[in-house]
Amino acid sequence: MTALKAGATAPPSVTPGPPPTSTPTVRVFFRRWSFWLGAGVLLVIASLVLLLIRGVSGADGGSDMSTTSAAPTGAKAVAQVLGQQGVTVTTADSLDAAVRAVADARASGAGGDPTVLIYDPNSFLPVDRTADLAALGGRIVLVEPDIFTLDALAPGVSVTGVVGSPSVADAGCALPVAERAGTISTSGSGYRLEGGSGSGGAGAGCFPAGDGGFSLVEEQRGDSVVTVLGASGILTNEHILEAGNASVALGLLGGVDQLVWYLPSAADLSQTGPPSLGALTPGWVTPLVLLLVVVFLAAALWRGRRLGPVVVENLPVIVRGSETVTGRARLYARSNARTRALDALRIGTVTRLSGLLGLPRSATLPEVVDAVASVAELAAADVAGILVNRLPRTDAELLELSHQLSVIERRVQVAVGRTPASPPSPPSPPTGSRS
């Protein structure tokens, strides 16, 4: 850089102004959140594809034998055909709902007792409420019932086992619904009457399913008729059109104008144990919590808008060495780290002394102490105390030790002929610390 000529005026100093500010644009926003936006779009597309694959259904549309499910295991086809033939299909997911539906059907005066279909693959049916089950009506169709349901509603019927391989079976009985169908595709479980098979006065077994069992067993007790259907697949959308399945399904369920389609659920399970937290909580707690959440969100939005615009600063940022030293000294002073501050001074002094004495980088600390003591004509114990052993307990001792480090370094410089132009002033301890 050339010096200014005599008489020349220096250019006016320019005071740096505040750094430029900017707010994120729409392009910057989308660039910053592109990953999460893409992930959200991908999640929505995957959900739509899954819905298309599995089929969109109602609240209970995903259940087996549901009248609103168009899935292969649903029974929407049978329910729609029954509706077209004038049969009112009422669904129920609990025993109480089924009892109310039966009472409503009887009160409507549409043909006496309705037909009640019960399908309970998860054993939710409350068999301890035998009186309520018996009050469901005079026409009950049990689809693949277990032994507890049979004991409650059809004590004369027993289970023979699971049907091994589905096959087409002939009626083999004189029941009108079976004779009209001719054949069905057997599946599920087999059942038999305890008093024998065939078309007796107490009931009949139709569609042999092996091991002396039948896929359709009917038991009559007075005015009550209970039909046990082991081939549950004949009611599903997947198998309704096979053999005479549709004829049997419509014959069993379409005999009267009212049909109660009862699928037991978790609502039938008895509640045991202590009450839940929601039951013990007063009614005003939930609105209060919601109000607090709204207040918190409003306060966060209000306080968040108080932040200023984004400040753009070019990197890298240059930090002066004096600022680093001052900042570290303040940290040492704030935490009273006298030993750590003295260690930093000692490491620098030992490194410089090793260079002045021409010692290798692999020289140990005792070797440096001996060399310094020999050159500076000091006792080795005193040199070791200054360089290593003595620990400062107060700021005054820290200042004294730092001064002695400077004295030793100066004496070594004089001894080796490298006296500095002006002796270095001893470093002062960090200000602001307390003993």
pLDDT tens track, the chain, 435 positions:
444 444 444 444 444 444 444 455 666 666 777 777 778 888 888 888 877 766 544 444 446 888 988 888 899 999 999 999 999 999 998 888 998 988 888 887 666 788 999 998 888 888 778 778 877 877 899 999 988 888 888 888 888 888 877 788 888 888 888 989 889 988 888 898 876 544 344 678 899 887 788 999 998 877 788 999 988 888 999 888 888 889 999 999 988 889 999 999 888 877 666 767 777 788 888 888 889 999 998 888 777 666 666 777 777 777 787 888 888 878 877 787 888 888 888 898 999 988 888 888 888 888 889 999 888 888 888 888 888 888 888 888 888 988 999 999 999 988 888 665 444 444 444 444 443
**pLDDT score of 286:** 84
SS3 track for the chain? CCCCCCCCCCCCCCCCCCCCEECCCHHHHHHHCHHHHHHHHHHHHHHHHHHHHHCCCCCCCCCCCCCCCCCCCCCHHHHHHHHHCCCEEEEECCHHHHHHHHHHHHHCCCCCCCEEEEECCCCCCCCCCHHHHHCCCCEEEEECCCHHHHHHHCCCEEEEEECCCCEEEECCCCCHHHHHHCEEEECCEEEEECCCCCCCCCEEEEEEEECCEEEEEEEEECCEEEEEECCHHHHCCCCCCCCCHHHHHHHHHCCCCEEEEECCCHHHCCCCCCCCHHHHCCCCHHHHHHHHHHHHHHHHHHHHCCCCCEECCCCCCCCCHHHHHHHHHHHHHHCCCHHHHHHHHHHHHHHHHHHHHCCCCCCCHHHHHHHHHHHHCCCHHHHHHHHHHCCCCCHHHHHHHHHHHHHHHHHHHHHCCCCCCCCCCCCCCCCCCCC
**pLDDT score of 273:** 61
Residue 162: alpha-carbon gap to chain centroid: 39
For residues 89 and 250, what is the distance between their CA atoms, to the nearest angstrom? 12
For residues 329 and 431, what is the distance between their CA atoms, to the nearest angstrom? 8
**Domain ranges in the chain?**
76-267, 333-415
Which H or E run includes 128?
none
What pTM was estimated for this model as a whole?
Answer: 0.52
**pLDDT score of 418:** 65
**pLDDT score of 338:** 85
**pLDDT score of 202:** 60
Q: Where are the beta strands (DSSP E) in 150-287?
A: 157-162, 167-170, 183-186, 189-193, 203-210, 213-221, 224-229, 258-262
C-alpha distance from residue 321 to each of 40, 214, 326, 432 (Å): 48, 95, 9, 21
SS3 track for 239-270? CCCCCCHHHHHHHHHCCCCEEEEECCCHHHCC
**pLDDT score of 307:** 63
